[in-house]
Structure 1
Amino acid sequence: MSLNKLNPLDFSQPSIRILHLTWFAFFLSFVVWFSHAPLKPLIVDTLGMSNAQWKALLILNVALTIPARIVIGILVDKFGPRQVFCGLLCSSGVLCLIFASSQTFEQLALTRFLLGFVGAGFVIGIRMVGEWFPARQVGLAEGIYGGWGNFGSAAAAFILPTLAVAVFGSMGGWRAAIASTGVIAIIYGVFYYWRARNTPKGSTYFKPKKSGGMEVSSKKDFYLYIAMNIPMYAILGVLAWRLGPSNIGLLTQNLVYLMWVVLLTLFAFQFSQIYRVNKDMLKHGAPEHDKYDFKQVAVLNWAYFVTFGSELAVVSMLPAFFLETFTSLSLAEAGMLGGAFAFMNLVARPGGGWISDNFGRRRSMSIFIGGLAIGYFVLSQVDAAWPVWLAVMSVMCCSFFVQAGEGAVFAMVPLIKRRMTGQIAGMTGAYGNVGAVTYLTAYSFIDASTFFMIIAGSAVATFFLVQLLVEPRGHMSEMMADGTLQKIELT
């Protein structure tokens, strides 16, 4: 296989087989994660939920993924993608079965909150694909992985309403439809463990020198890293307030206070771990061969906040938006039209990775985020007077820029520091969920038009941040077990 060309249909190549095994694992994690979104009317009717309770469920679904992606990033760097993906799929499959059998809103809320952990599956494949593909191909390979995996939310929107109504029956059918996704996830988790490998034969799986926090290269980067952790805890604190007695009422005021104390404690613990990992660097500096610019990570975090964060928020509300805006649509039709946003993942995310590989990392990301801002502004104008076909076309055009931007972000992530790819991907992925919780929390207070305008505004701000990115060039260095340095080409 050429260093410059990647043929995703060449199954004679072990790397291609790993790519397809891994994107399908990620695809299933997204089916499980968003299995509830297209079934809103059936779930709401069965349990007599209010609209506020449903919006709370949407927020809870993405909340735990914020810390989960950090945890999974650490685990995958330490134990390897094969083991971690198997464990994640099997455990989330069990939680999916519990969600499907829930009898009260409180049970739904708890299990949906815990199911947010499955959204961390994305991080695992980023490290796996980064191990199997060279720098010249990694953007396209990561794009195929992310794009076809993210399509799981669209597949859920297309398939599950029909499965629930036509196959299993109208009211209780949603339970069987959701449970079936859990069973499949468990089976495939075992299959993935059997068939996947962490690295090609003869390759070294580099592990972090220390676990518990990311290594940085300077005092400035240390303080920036601490600052970048604050929004992840802050948005969870806002979520606790939103679920409190003065808002949705799922938590008592004492529980809200307890949540805030827990979050402050966790932040203090995280700070201690980051200091422990970096205390030698703070005293003596980092070796020249080990240095990297954490600013790159921070900019990618915010870029993913506005790209993937907005996608998660939009796919959560879009089927209901179509159903409520265009009242002539059926549940299945609204689910399929809502799935149009995620449908573009099939081409847009690989396309974004390929463009980033070939036409410059910063330039391509700037174009995608600029297009995203315009796309969301257009969506803010959609109302019942629009033809349905025009609304769908607007959704798909906007989603192209959103998902191409995601592909461009993760075309860069594996090129920063190989042995910490899981942690960098985990933090970047977590910021996607910070974005989702932020946008969905805003959505719980406002109408859809204002919701889309807020995303557009945040995209404009991110466009200027992206100009701080530096193109990765030359090579990165990693220390082998015998103390020698290995150079990994970035061009």
Structure 2
Amino acid sequence: MSASTLDLFSFTGKMKILHMSWLAFFISFVVWFNHAPLMLAIAETLKLSPAETKTILILNVALTIPARIAIGILVDKFGPKRTYSALLAVGSVPCFMFAAADNFEQLALARFLMGFVGAGFVIGIRMVGEWFPARQLGIAEGIYGGWGNFGSAAAAIVLPSLALAFGGENGWRYAIAATGVLALLYSVVYFFSVSDTPKGSTYFKPKKAGAMEVTSYADLALYILMSVPLYAALTLLAWKLSPTGMKLLSEPATIAAYVAIWTLFAYNVYKIVHINAEHLAQPIEAIHRYPFKQVAILDLAYLVTFGSELAVVSMLPMFFHDTFKHTGISTVQAGLLASSFAFMNLVARPGGGWLSDKYGRKLSLTICVLGCAVGYAAMSQIESSWPIALAFAVTFLCSFFVQAGCGAVYAMVPLIKRRMTGQIAGMVGAYGNVGGVTFLTVLSFVTPETFFLTIAATAAVVAVSVQFIAEPAGHMAEVMEDGSVAMIELN
């Protein structure tokens, strides 16, 4: 598949950038998920209650939603080279804090701050978009996303063994600290090994930082509307920690969290309006316009693809164990079966990008999202009477469409507006986390069957919305520093 379009064994030019960037993403995900495979040991050492353990898992994703928006703004302003290097270096600090924590409060603060590292994905989307032409963009972004995403699985495989190698009750501390050292070292390597654009190319930046520019008042209203679910998801996370949920926050602390979240939303709306007010007051030339519906539809597509992946990966091991326990399946075996869902990232994300390059962005995204709908509907029918092999096959097939859908989404993201690719990627990526939070909340109230059907129904609705997206074609216009217009090919 990729051999005909990209030389994966090359480490020069654009291929060097791709390899350096997916490895940066890989390391950021190793750091972000370094706690998960060691959580039992951590809980035992620090005498954590089950509620406190669950809180740590929630806090790991809490900051990632606003962080992806913030990182998108930073990468558009400062470039991916400086932003990725800084993120990895700064991200090592909460990693060391987590490794040195002596109580739940210290652990919780470090894990909350660690959520910022999960935003690293956004940076490479802009970097890869700068280096690869439209005809190779899908597969390049797919390789970046799929291979980098494997960092979470690598953490699960390597870190328990590393903790055992260090030995003792503090083995987990050394293993987690080692990931911080890795991130810190690679931040230096990345900075001195890459450049933001090919030689002679211009790195286009937004005129103002803080929010995306839109090109009509209707798009301005849609932008504000699409920002609401981001803050609603954060509110949902706060509710989970409240006295109504896990009782980890007091009533006053919960109210303070709600006020802080929606104050941040109000400030975001102010920035959106402020940045767009001046240029919307003047007629915008046709070549500089873009429909914000492109961003909104990709938000929804990533919500149902990556969002469902986050949710399903969390519950699948227990689902397989509970469904097939009459066969004598162990928790380890159930975990291995469930791991196939994440392992598909290695080939399916690049596959979705390749399909987009070859057969069109809209058609490929439609097929992938419809495949998600059918796949999750089929998974909702899995029961104890099924052969395990059949359940695995259905899960494997569903996973392919989910991961390929992620690849198809980001095959289109860099083709909307070059100077705002980071911000667009950030918002789309944040919607993936919104989906994860939403679907896991649904799971806490319903059976797994209803959970899978809910995702399937959501995918079917999103598949309809994808029909309103415009196939990238022709050129996008960006203004050079000297005032001339550069036309960037889209197909």
- Where does residue 131 of structure 2 map in the other structure? 132
Alignment of 1:215-230 (within 5 A): 215-230=213-228
Q: What are the Cα deviations for residues 17-62 of structure 1, in whole angstroms up to 9, with x where unaligned?
A: 0100000000111111122233343334444444444443333222
- Where does residue 231 of structure 2 map in the other structure? 233
Matched-pair contact (CA < 8 Å) for 1:218–1:285 = no
Deviation at 1:249, TM superposition (A): 1.2
Alignment of 1:312-331 (within 5 A): 312-322=310-320
After alignment, is 30-39 or 326-335 more displaced? 326-335
Structure 1 residues 98 and 229 mapped into 2: Cα distance closer, same or farther (>3 Å)? same
After alignment, is 15-24 or 244-253 more displaced? 244-253
SS in 1 for 2:281: helix
Deviation at 1:233, TM superposition (A): 0.8
Q: What are the Cα deviations for residues 426-463 of structure 1, in whole angstroms up to 9, with x where unaligned?
A: 11111111111212233344454443332222212211
- Where does residue 343 of structure 2 map in the other structure? 343
Alignment of 1:408-419 (within 5 A): 408-419=408-419
Query: In the alignment, does 2:245 pair up with 1:286?
Result: no
Structure 1 residues 383 and 100 mapped into 2: Cα distance closer, same or farther (>3 Å)? farther
Over the matched positions of the two proteins, sequence identity in percent amounts to 59
Alignment of 1:320-399 (within 5 A): 320-322=318-320, 333=333, 335-382=335-382, 388-399=388-399
SS in 2 for 1:370: helix
- Where does residue 36 of structure 1 map in the other structure? 35
Q: What are the Cα deviations for residues 407-429 of structure 1, in whole angstroms up to 9, with x where unaligned?
A: 00000011111111111111111
CA distance in 2, matches of 1:156, 1:294: 37
SS in 2 for 1:233: helix
Structure 1 residues 81 and 189 mapped into 2: Cα distance closer, same or farther (>3 Å)? same
Alignment of 1:384-463 (within 5 A): 388-463=388-463
Structure 1 residues 387 and 181 mapped into 2: Cα distance closer, same or farther (>3 Å)? farther
Alignment of 1:13-412 (within 5 A): 13-164=12-163, 166-169=164-167, 172-322=170-320, 333=333, 335-382=335-382, 388-412=388-412
Deviation at 1:144, TM superposition (A): 0.5
Q: What are the Cα deviations for residues 326-374 of structure 1, in whole angstroms up to 9, with x where unaligned?
A: 6666666555444322111111000100101111111111111111122
- Where does residue 485 of structure 2 map in the other structure? 485
Structure 1 residues 330 and 230 mapped into 2: Cα distance closer, same or farther (>3 Å)? same
Q: What are the Cα deviations for residues 141-184 of structure 1, in whole angstroms up to 9, with x where unaligned?
A: 000100101111121222233433x4244854333332322221
Give the TM-score, by structure 1 length: 0.93
CA distance in 2, matches of 1:37, 1:447: 24
**5+ long unaligned stretches in structure 1:** none
CA distance in 2, matches of 1:37, 1:72: 24
Matched-pair contact (CA < 8 Å) for 1:96–1:181 = yes
Structure 1 residues 286 and 117 mapped into 2: Cα distance closer, same or farther (>3 Å)? same
Structure 1 residues 82 and 331 mapped into 2: Cα distance closer, same or farther (>3 Å)? farther
Structure 1 residues 53 and 445 mapped into 2: Cα distance closer, same or farther (>3 Å)? farther
SS in 2 for 1:284: coil
CA distance in 1, matches of 2:23, 2:424: 22
CA distance in 2, matches of 1:375, 1:253: 41
**5+ long unaligned stretches in structure 2:** none
CA distance in 1, matches of 2:241, 2:464: 34
Give the TM-score, by structure 2 length: 0.93
CA distance in 2, matches of 1:175, 1:320: 27
SS in 1 for 2:411: helix
Matched-pair contact (CA < 8 Å) for 1:161–1:332 = no
SS in 2 for 1:71: helix
Structure 1 residues 101 and 457 mapped into 2: Cα distance closer, same or farther (>3 Å)? farther
Structure 1 residues 37 and 338 mapped into 2: Cα distance closer, same or farther (>3 Å)? farther
SS in 2 for 1:195: coil
CA distance in 1, matches of 2:36, 2:414: 32
SS in 2 for 1:221: helix
Deviation at 1:305, TM superposition (A): 0.7
CA distance in 2, matches of 1:321, 1:172: 31
CA distance in 2, matches of 1:331, 1:125: 36
